[in-house]
């Protein structure tokens, strides 16, 4: 099974899923599901970036404390 086949089957699966939702009139549910997925992804991305920023700030404070230990008396 090649990469092209996997992409084609996932696209087919998504189009079948969208067709099922549209035939049943559940477009509002589909929109809500897409909104929930995108909001969750954005939240995950923001938390990941916040954690990285916190680590960088912690590294900065640690290096600043080390600098002050070395040159604080001068």
DSSP alpha helix (H) spans, 1-74: 3-24, 27-71
pLDDT by residue (tens digit) across 4-63?
Answer: 555 567 678 778 877 776 777 677 788 888 999 999 999 999 999 999 999 999 999 999
Q: Residue 72, Cα to own-chain centre: how many angstroms?
A: 42
pTM of full prediction above 0.75: no
Write down the pLDDT at residue 22: 72
Domain parsing of the chain, residue ranges: 3-71
């Amino acid at each position: 099974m090649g990469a092209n086949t996997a992409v084609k089957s996932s696209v087919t699966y998504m189009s079948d899923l969208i067709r099922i939702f549209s035939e049943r009139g559940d477009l509002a549910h589909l929109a809500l599901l897409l909104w929930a997925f995108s909001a969750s992804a954005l939240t995950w991305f923001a938390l990941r970036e916040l954690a990285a920023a916190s680590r960088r700030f912690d590294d900065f404070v640690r290096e600043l404390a080390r600098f002050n230990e070395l040159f604080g008396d001068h």
